[in-house]
């Protein structure tokens, strides 16, 4: 069984509307910028992928905005757009008990926790907000979406670091296949641009450095890459059983065909150099989708811009696809690494690539590393693609691969080239 993708919502360093983000990606524009004065990460990060401001009152009643972390606000904004895109109203189009919510995150409300910790250290226990926990816990993005829309089915919050957004989508497909829901609102959200996280990644020597022009700093698979750029954002999809989407006359943007997940069991932060775990994840996704490697026309790579990570993923891709070399690009060249939101945002980009027949390029890929021998997309490539694979890999060795395909005759497919 496949799942119909009927709604998409994005908040990224390239903008907060789906069409806007994809146009920026296909034009090769970068969303990386210097961190401005007044931002919590100013002085701690030289540059980052900063998403648009979301005021709490845009997504919540004014009385409920106290101490709500930014990652929750980003998730709510993306969910609002995804549900509007799907044209879905809870209670009218789906029973409240038959809609599930799964929103992943890497760190949850770490910025809010840090702010409240400072208040405690400076002024003692009375200074800590009583709204701290409902404002920052990792499950609160999923919980807030459910509360706002009256969704009373299953809900959860995967926290598998940089694979969390992709795992949430995979869990959505599992729920639909198991008959436990008719609709799943799923994706990921992250906002970790604050001093402690910035200091940790800087001290680990994981971040790109030495680039006077911030827009050149994130360069997956490029020979001169020297680390990743931190970013923030959210991506939310609405998945439905194909029969449910058809019954309500929903527009089907794509189908989620399958997923695969494995664990490296190798190292807390480093992937297996041979990419064996990543390769196993992609093979599992192909089995789940009932496809052969030759059916995949495009891969949205995890591609963070680290030496070891990009090389390991390239080895995995070549092991899986062999002589059939699908087109490969990394969205992170334009957005930076969105951590727990990355898998969801990049899944949406994969859907858009299928829908438009346009494959976005890897920004700043000027000289591909010989250790990453792939069919790199360096300029937008207009070509029809039957199926696309999206990879997400994480600290702890978590590997997630998702496969999307063009919509079948179930529901009302998008017309070629149509985008909203």
Q: Is residue 416 part of a domain?
A: no
Span between the terminal Cα atoms of the chain, in Å: 26
CATH number at residue 127: 3.40.47.10
Provide the 10 A C-beta neighbour count for residue 366: 12
Beta strands in 99-156 (DSSP E): 99-104, 155-156
420 domain-assigned:
no
Distance CA(235)–CA(340), nearest Å, equals 10
Position of tokens 């693609």?
385
In a domain, 237, yes or no: yes
pLDDT at 67: 87
pLDDT of residue 419: 38
Q: Classify strands 375-376 and 327-329 as parallel, antiparallel or unpaired.
A: parallel
As for how many domains the chain has, the answer is 1
**128, part of any domain:** yes
Question: Do 404 and 239 meet the contact criterion of CB atoms below 8 Å apart?
Answer: no
pLDDT exceeds 80 at position 116: yes
pLDDT for 411 = 37
The pLDDT tens digits of the residues spanning 159-194 come to 999 999 999 999 999 999 999 999 999 999 999 999
Is residue 417 a part of any domain in this protein? no
Structural domain including 360 reads 3-407
- pLDDT given for residue 161 in this prediction: 97
Residue 246 maps to a domain: yes
Question: What does pLDDT average to over the chain?
Answer: 95
Across the range 269-296, mean pLDDT stands at 97
Enter the pTM of the model: 0.95
8 A C-beta contact, residue 407 and residue 343: no
Q: Is residue 414 part of a domain?
A: no
Structure tokens at 47: 């540059």
The count of other CB atoms within 10 Å of the CB of residue 268 is 7
Q: Hey, which residues are catalytic here?
A: 162, 302, 337
* Confidence at residue 93, expressed as pLDDT on a 0 to 100 scale: 98
Query: Is pLDDT of 283 > 80?
Result: yes
Beta carbons of 169 and 237 less than 8 angstroms apart: yes
Please give the Cα distance from 313 to 227 (Å, whole number): 15
């Amino acid at each position: 069984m496949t799942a119909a993708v009927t709604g998409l919502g994005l908040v990224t360093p390239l903008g907060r509307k789906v069409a806007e983000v994809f146009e920026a990606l296909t034009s090769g524009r970068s969303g990386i910028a210097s961190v401005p004065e007044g931002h919590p990460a100013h002085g701690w990060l030289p540059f980052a992928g900063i998403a648009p401001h979301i005021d709490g009152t845009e997504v919540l009643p004014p009385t409920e905005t106290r101490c709500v972390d930014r990652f929750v606000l980003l998730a709510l904004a993306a969910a609002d757009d995804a549900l509007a895109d799907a044209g879905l109203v809870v209670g009218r189009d789906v029973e409240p008990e038959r809609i599930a919510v799964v929103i992943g995150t890497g760190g949850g409300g770490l910025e809010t926790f840090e702010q409240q910790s400072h208040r405690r250290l400076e002024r003692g226990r009375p200074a800590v907000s009583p709204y701290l926990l409902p404002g920052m816990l990792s499950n609160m993005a999923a919980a807030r979406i459910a509360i706002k829309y009256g969704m009373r089915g299953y809900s959860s919050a995967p926290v598998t670091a940089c694979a969390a957004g992709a795992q949430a989508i995979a869990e959505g497909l599992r729920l639909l296949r198991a008959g436990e829901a008719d609709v799943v609102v799923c994706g990921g959200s992250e906002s970790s641009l604050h001093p402690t996280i910035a200091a940790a990644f800087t001290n680990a020597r994981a971040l790109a450095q030495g680039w006077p022009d911030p827009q050149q700093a994130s360069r997956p698979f490029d020979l001169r890459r020297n680390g990743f750029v931190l970013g923030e954002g959210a991506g939310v999809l609405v998945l439905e059983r194909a029969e449910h989407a058809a019954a309500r006359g929903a527009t089907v943007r794509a189908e989620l065909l399958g997923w695969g997940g494995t664990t490296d069991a190798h190292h807390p932060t480093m992937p297996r150099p041979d990419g064996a775990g990543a390769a196993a994840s992609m093979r599992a996704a192909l089995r789940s989708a009932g496809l052969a490697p030759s059916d995949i026309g495009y891969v949205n790579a995890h591609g963070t811009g680290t030496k070891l990570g990009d090389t390991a993923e390239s080895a995995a891709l070549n092991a899986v696809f062999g002589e059939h070399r699908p087109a490969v690009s990394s969205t992170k060249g334009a957005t930076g690494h969105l951590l727990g939101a990355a898998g969801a945002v990049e899944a949406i980009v994969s859907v858009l690539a299928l829908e438009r027949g346009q494959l976005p390029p890897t920004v700043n890929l000027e000289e591909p590393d010989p250790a990453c021998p792939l069919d790199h997309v360096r300029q937008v490539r207009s070509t029809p693609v039957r199926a696309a694979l999206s990879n997400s890999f994480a600290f702890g060795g978590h590997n997630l691969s998702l496969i999307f395909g063009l919509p079948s005759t179930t529901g009302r497919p998008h017309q070629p080239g149509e985008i909203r």
